Amino acid sequence: MTDSTGGAAPAVAPPRPGGDWSSRIRAAGLRIGGLVIAILIVVIIFTVLSKPNTFLTITNAVGIMRSMSTIAIVALGLTLVIVVGEIDLSFGYMYGLASILIGVAWVVWGWPIWFAIPLAFVAAIGLGSINAFLVTVLKIPSFIVTLGTGQLVFGTTLLVSNTATLNPAYPPPGKTVPQEQVDWFFGLSNQDLPLGIPMQAIWMLGVAVVIGFILSRSLFGFRLKAIGGNPAAAELARLPITKYKFAAFIISASLASLAAMLDFAFIGSVQPNAGVSLTFPVFAAVIIGGASLSGGRGSAIGTLSGALLLAIIANGLALLSAGSYLSNFVSGAVTIAAVVLDRFTQSLRK
């Protein structure tokens, strides 16, 4: 995981003559430090409040990792879009379309699963390209573009699915789904790993390492931050703005599809409304993780920590039988508090 720690880049490096790698890690640590403390505080609170041996157990930790992984995978994709200075509101609907496309192609049309899955990713590349085209070539604000394409995608999902829930165990009359395909597909998310670690958490960590590498150690990430930080200067410096924005939107849509596929494999069935409720927690994870909505700042480890904090809060409140409305209150308040704290520490730094 050290690979993704440098997400904050040297922009905030402390004044350290000749500082190099170590100072980069230390700088990122400062930003992440606050989040780690917040997570520890929340863990302590729930440990004290919950019944003994319910919250601080391996089983529960595994459950938290499972529940955060969907949000984290989608949020890691969104982080790239946010860093380059744009907004993506369509990922939740892309999630729904991807799962329905896999389900319909596989269960209804009778495609082999190995063709159904690429179909979902082709759709993701298509949506990402349309978003990026409208934003970069037609210069329409990404908020409006993705607000619109999100609804277009949702409509497509309802049309394709016929608004029905799909389950490979119950194919439509006259169709069969080969059992070895079912086993292989479900195995993507359900496998017996040591300590009961969920397969989805492994996927999440893999994605985090890749996005962490991109943001902190690659030319791609370096330039994404430059473009997001100052688009006008990026144009004068002849950075490949259009190409990079295409890449960011395509990755965001593709990771939403990946998360959808993994959830389908874990749950065993899909329904067209899935993903609609992702918008808030995914954005919250990215924002709590320290990404700036005005662009130029964001890290994989930050987004991952944001998703973890939200998952712990949701889990802890559920263990206390607090009711879902309280969960909404708390996650909303935490998101705003994170931004307020960030403003405060940024102003101290100046």
- Binding residues for other proteins, rule: CB under 8 A, are 9-21, 23-24, 27, 213, 217-220, 222-223, 225-226, 228-230, 232-239, 292, 296-297, 350
Q: What does the angle CA 205 – CA 124 – CA 238 come to, to the nearest 5 degrees?
A: 85
- Tell me the CA end-to-end span of the chain in Å, nearest whole number: 30
* CB of 19 vs other proteins, minimal distance in Å: 5
326 alpha carbon, distance to own chain's centre = 23
C-beta of residue 64 within 8 angstroms of C-beta of residue 315: yes
Residues 6+ apart with CB under 8 A from 152: none
Kindly tell me which of 245 and 297 has the beta carbon lying closer to other proteins.
Answer: 297
Cα→Cα distances 93→261, 262, 320, Å? 13, 16, 32
Kindly tell me which of 89 and 234 has the beta carbon lying closer to other proteins.
Answer: 234
In the block, tokens 């995608």 appear at 153
- Report the interhelical angle of 219-229 vs 58-83 (nearest 10°): 60
Comparing CA positions, the residue from 168, 172, 203, 170 lying closest to residue 188 is: 203
* 299: exposed, middle or buried (Cβ count in 10 Å: 0-12, 13-18, 19+): buried
Comparing CA positions, the residue from 3, 7, 68, 1 lying closest to residue 32 is: 7
DSSP state of 14: -
Instruction: Map residue 138 onto helix, strand or coil.
Output: coil
Cβ count within 10 A of residue 312: 22
* CB of 325 vs other proteins, minimal distance in Å: 38
Q: Give the Cα separation of 136 and 244 in Å (integer).
A: 10
Q: Give the Cα separation of 106 and 267 in Å (integer).
A: 16
